[in-house]
Amino acid sequence: MRSTFKKHKYSAQKTIVNGIAFGSKLEAAVYNILLIREKAGEIKNIKMQDAIILKEKCQECGDGPVSWKVDFSFIDSKSGEKIYCEAKGIETSDYKRRKRHWKKHPPAKLEIWKGAYNRPMLHEVIK
């Protein structure tokens, strides 16, 4: 059977888990980890493709806003804090720029997961 998905420019393979389409196997694997964390009571209210504005439009300098559609967000059950989560295979220049903005003025905690889909690892947490 042939896949109906178009080949991704970074060789990411679209994957379907529980009827939900993900942009890569790593993203699907991270989602499965989040589901396990949710069942354990550690987190709740998992959302996908949550957009956040990192920098508003600058009226004086003419720079546009900087936003990021992060792979996932969820609520920490203990603290009630909203946490964002990104599965990252290849670090593009666009990703690096958004990450710099996040580090400069972090709107919330960000978990960055890397590795292979069969062995995803929490690579970095930006607070």
Which residue's structure tokens are 């990104």? 86
What is the value of pTM for the model shown?
0.84
Ramachandran bin of 61, using left for φ above 0, alpha for ψ from -120 to 50, beta for the remaining angles? alpha
Paired tokens of 21: 């389409």
Asked if pLDDT for residue 1 goes beyond 70, the answer is no
Distance CA 67, CA 53 (A): 4
**pLDDT attached to residue 78:** 96
Q: In terms of Cα–Cα distance, which of 66, 62, 84, 88 is closest to 74? A: 84
Asked if pLDDT for residue 51 goes beyond 60, the answer is yes
Q: In terms of Cα–Cα distance, which of 127, 105, 114 is closest to 24? A: 114
Q: How many CB atoms lie within 10 A of CB 82?
A: 16
Spell out the CATH class of 15-126: alpha beta
User: Residue 58: which residues within 8 A CB-CB, separation 6 or more?
Assistant: none
Domain segments of the chain as ranges: 15-126
β-sheet bridge partners, residue 43: 76
pLDDT digits (tens, 9 = 90+) for 73-125: 999 999 999 999 999 988 989 999 999 989 988 899 999 999 999 999 999 99
How long is the chain?
Answer: 127
Higher pLDDT, 75 or 62: 75
